[in-house]
Structure 1
Amino acid sequence: MDPFKNSALTSILVISNMAHAKEFYVKKLGAKIYREYGGNSLVLEFLGNWLLLVTPGGPTKDKPETHFTPPINKHKVSHSFTIRVQDCKQSFEILKERGVKFITPPVDHGAETRCFFHDPDGHLFEISEYRQQ
């Protein structure tokens, strides 16, 4: 028996400012709004996946010792997203025109060209083009 039959995986990102996050994910990355509720949660469909943006919060009855906080230091990463693209340099230029700030321009590593950016709260994203050798 499959415990996840007909299920979907959602990634939760804790953000500090809902307006800034909404602007970034919808206007710059092209995510689609699925649902907003309470002014502190936003469900997005992004590249066939679900992202749930939430503002910081403390423990609840079902997670009594858990605190939701945005990243403290964007230079120390415990989770990141990789977006496989057809043309890394072209995707970089489009996102750069939309105001996305990259750590570096695309770097060619032979079979792979990639570059990285952060969302307004420091969550790390990579765009990567892989070419068969």
Structure 2
Amino acid sequence: MHRGDFPAPETGLLLTHFLTVADVARSRAFYTDILGGEVVLDENPCVVKLANGWLIMNTGGGPTSDKPGVTLRPPADPSTATSFLNIRVADIQACYRQWSAKGAEFLTPPVDRRVELRCYLRDPDGYLIEVGQATGVLEGVLTEPPAGSGRPRPSAA
């Protein structure tokens, strides 16, 4: 392992994302074989470099001295999400074709949302992953606020 491949900055900070998984080998295979990540550390915890970020994966467990009262577990209900990975790509159609051919199961094909093209898939533990390609937002088209939010329509800067 090269130090530069491991998420340990010499200055400043680096953002990583931790996933509690049921089966480390299965999740490692998904993020490397399908999404193209590179294994930095196999287990305890598993660290996968994915594009310009890192995923850290380990099985769940009960509270520890540094997180008292907190139990880690994979999502219990895949139809409810409180957070998700957001992967931005240059060519969503190519990404959709490549990952589908490798076994990724998308909820829908890419959908044109005016500001972006986007679609979603799930990893083996049910974590939701958004895949998006900026389109209209690059031309000043902004997202509409959620219906009933009472927020005014955004204006282009």
Would you say same fold, with TM above 0.5? yes
Q: Residues 64 and 106 of structure 1: is their aligned pair in 2 closer, same or farther, counting only changes over 3 Å?
A: same
2: CA distance, partners of 1:9 / 1:82: 13
TM superposition shift of 1:7: 2.3
Mind listing any 5+ residue stretches in structure 2 that lack a counterpart?
A: 1-10, 140-157
Q: Does 1:8 align with 2:17?
A: no
Q: Does 1:19 align with 2:1?
A: no
Decide which structure has greater strand share.
Answer: 1
Q: Does 1:126 align with 2:101?
A: no
TM superposition shift of 1:25: 0.7
Mind listing any 5+ residue stretches in structure 1 that lack a counterpart?
A: none
Q: With the length of structure 2 as denominator, give the TM-score of the two structures.
A: 0.76
Could you list the per-position Cα deviations for residues 53-106 of structure 1 after superposition, in whole angstroms to 9, with x for gaps in the alignment? 010111111212110100011111111111111121111001101100000111
Could you list the per-position Cα deviations for residues 93-125 of structure 1 after superposition, in whole angstroms to 9, with x for gaps in the alignment? 011011000001111122311100000001111
Q: Does 1:117 align with 2:121?
A: yes
What RMSD over aligned residues (CA atoms) do the two structures have, in Å? 1.6
- Would you say how many aligned residue pairs link Structure 1 and Structure 2? 128
Please say if residues 28 and 48 of structure 2, whose CA atoms lie closer than 8 Å, have aligned partners that are also in contact.
no
Specify the SS of the correspondent of 1:30: coil
Greater than 3 Å deviation, 4+ residue runs: none
| Aligned residue identity for 1:54 | N
Larger radius of gyration: 2
Q: With the length of structure 1 as denominator, give the TM-score of the two structures.
A: 0.89
Identity within the alignment, %: 32
Please say if residues 43 and 58 of structure 2, whose CA atoms lie closer than 8 Å, have aligned partners that are also in contact.
no
